[in-house]
Amino acid sequence: MYNAPPQYQQTGPPGVPQTGIEWGVIGESFKLLFAHWQTYCIASAALLAPMLPFLVIGIAFSFIEPAALSESTVFGLALALIFLGVVTIGFQGILAAGITNFTMRASRGLPVTNSDLWVGFRKPWTYFGAFALVALLSTLGVCACIVGTYVVYGVTMFVWPILLDKKCGVWDALSQSWEMLKSEWLMATLFYFVVAMVAGLGVYACYVGILLSWPYLYIAPALLYNRYMGYGPQIPYNPASPYPRGQQTGSGIGGQPPPPYDPLKPQGPPQQP
């Protein structure tokens, strides 16, 4: 995987934080997803691995009459399914943290490797608890005509970026995400609804496409969180540019103003007339 030279990997101070949902992140997420599609597919494959036993059990039941199974066998299968469900939830939370970590680093101009996906294993119970708590709250949202589920996910979509960026606890991350998005709760809900629809499109490609589309569920919120922190869109790498990569303050690609002139510092190549 290509990384820019060290002098172009500086993140630098972020620009002015924004306080609204920026829909341009939807398109930028696609660009980042396809630029690192191999890495994101690895994360999806790791998530789907615990789900394979569910598929095997489902296929087995299609060939076996339920009446032919003893009570002890049914009880054992039920316990196995519960255990696999817990493992799947744990992997979901851990890999959500990894995808978020990889996305935040890549979008800030920092060097990234596949090892950035496994950062969640350093504090697995934290990310497991965060995913389980958000899932529980979203389940309660079903009582509000299912719309409440998307509202919960919308106002809590910054939980993983906050856990990684500020190294705080789950409750602090939930409260901070709520404080950041409560004034934009309706647009945050619509944003997450669109993101979830895009993330589920892979199901229509014989289910195999989910390997590529599922990480989008965490890429877009991570990029939006970066905007809230003051990090703008990536400036394309240009070896001839005197400006470090990753120091964005403008609202568009290449919108960074030039640094103030300092006679004590070496300047970049002279500008052509």
Q: Is residue 79 in a domain? A: yes
The whole-number pLDDT of residue 84 equals: 78
- Report pLDDT for 259: 53
Give the integer Cα–Cα distance in Å for 192 and 225: 13
- Looking at residue 7, its pLDDT comes to 35
Q: What is the mean pLDDT, run by run of 10 residues, along the chain of 273 residues?
A: 38 64 92 92 85 72 69 78 80 92 91 92 92 88 76 94 93 94 94 94 81 93 92 56 42 45 52 51
In the prediction, which pLDDT does 251 show?
A: 39
pLDDT reported for residue 272: 53
Q: What's residue 240's pLDDT?
A: 46
The number of domains in the chain is: 1
Enter the pTM of the model. 0.76
**Which tens digits make up the pLDDT trace of 229-257?**
888 775 444 444 444 444 443 333 344 44
Q: Is residue 69 part of a domain?
A: yes
Determine the pLDDT at residue 67.
Answer: 67
Predicted confidence at residue 239, as pLDDT, reads 46
* pLDDT score recorded for residue 6: 39
Q: Is residue 247 part of a domain?
A: no
Q: What is the pLDDT of residue 155?
A: 95
**Residue 109 counted as domain residue:** yes
Q: Which domain holds residue 67?
A: 6-228
Q: Is residue 31 part of a domain?
A: yes
241: in domain:
no
Tell whether 112 is covered by a domain: yes
251 domain-assigned? no
